[in-house]
Amino acid sequence: MRSQLLPFCLLLVSPMYGQDSGLRCLNNHPVELDRHLSEAPQALDRALTAKAALDARTASFQRGGGGPYIIPVVFHIIHNNGPENISDAQVEDAVRILNEDFNKLNPDWTQVAPAFIDIVADVGIEFRLAQRDPEGNCTNGITRTVSNLTEVGDFDMTQVIQWPRERYMNIWVCRYANGAAGYTYYPMWLDGWPEADGIVVQYNYVGSIGAGSPFRSRVLSHETGHWLNLMHCWGDSNEPGDDANCAMDDGVDDTPNTRGWTSCLVTGASCGNVQDNVQNYMEYAYCSRMFTTGQADRMLAALTSPIAQREDLWQPGNL
Ligand code: ZN
Ligand code: CA
């Protein structure tokens, strides 16, 4: 039950996202979430209600012919005229990779182990840099704001600028992402906390060019998974590589229970499996190549749900 109440994760991210970094993933950022829960007494009940509704929806969700699901995206670059003021080209490269990964267009999906290659998902979500800002003016989907808070990367930084979460997926790029490579929250937490809705990412975990790198370029696919209600493959834990994770489920049928991986042993097996899905985006094995079809269904159940207003994003009226 504790893991349901406080699904924190404090995960070593360096092996997956960059051989040159020791940064962590901070899903459901524990410091920020603790502060929120202490300041907003109703927040926990609201989140548990949202979780129950989304769990029920997910359990009965059948992928139909819906879509295409097009999500307008805005990158807010919070900078202090340092290297975190990344180029438009780096942002566009990140969006390209995100679209490849969510549409089975990443060239490296063919390297997936035979045991899992038949369940590599074409999730069918397209991310497009916004062309209109909230006032209806033309935009390239990238804002730039000078603020010292780029050195902090906390909730207060996200309040420097945010576009309505029911119309845009907000991504904040900063110099220091509050101790993480990137972080976001499950829809259950964001449902009643729209101010925090979006993904915070450190500038060198965006795209594969400029300050980014191919090794770190899948961070946004991983974080977008969380933003669309995916857990890590080993479950709601902050401890990959722990045998106790074998007793924990990630809510997805076709991902085997696993200890969780921080190195890329493609043939790796744990928890009595023949093989683990080491190459999953929601693992930490630095060789991620895929979402499973089960994960795709779980994400689409969230995206077509009113929880955290996800279903508003892709409506034709919003595009
Ligand atoms: Zn994560
Ligand atoms: Ca599973």
Ligand that lies nearest to the alpha carbon of residue 281, given by its number in the listed order: 1
Q: Is the pLDDT of residue 2 over 60?
A: no
pLDDT value of residue 67: 73
- Residue 157 CA to ligand 1 centre (angstroms): 21
pLDDT tens digits for 248-267?
999 999 999 999 998 899 99
| 231 Cα to the center of ligand 2, angstroms | 10
Centre of ligand 1 to C-alpha 223, Å, is: 6
* Spatial CA neighbour of 293 closest among 39, 62, 135, 20: 62
Strands 125-129 and 69-79 turn out to be parallel
- How far does the centroid of ligand 1 lie from the alpha carbon of residue 67, in Å? 26
Residue whose pair of structure tokens reads 């397209």 in the numeric block: 126
Q: Which ligand is nearest to the CA of 235?
A: 2
Ligand that comes closest to the CA of residue 23: 1
Give 32-44 pLDDT, tens digit per residue.
Answer: 999 999 999 999 9
How many whole angstroms separate alpha carbon 259 and alpha carbon 257? Answer: 7
Pairwise CA distance, residues 313 & 303, whole Å: 8
Instruction: Say what the pLDDT of residue 64 is.
Output: 81
Per annotation, catalytic residue among 32, 84, 223, 283: 223
Q: Is 239 considered catalytic here?
A: no
Cite the DSSP H helix spans in 78-124: 88-102
Close Cβ partners of 168 (under 8 Å, ≥ 6 residues apart): 72, 73, 74, 130, 134, 313
Q: Tell me the pLDDT tens digit for each residue of 71-108.
A: 999 999 999 999 999 999 999 999 999 999 999 999 99
Those residues whose beta carbon sits under 5 angstroms from the ion ligand 1 are: 25, 27
Which of the residue ranges 22-26, 172-176, 200-204, 205-209 would you say has the lowest mean pLDDT? 22-26
Identify residue 156 by its one-letter amino acid code. D
CA 160–ligand 2 middle distance (angstroms):
38
Q: Give CA 292 to chain center in angstroms.
A: 15
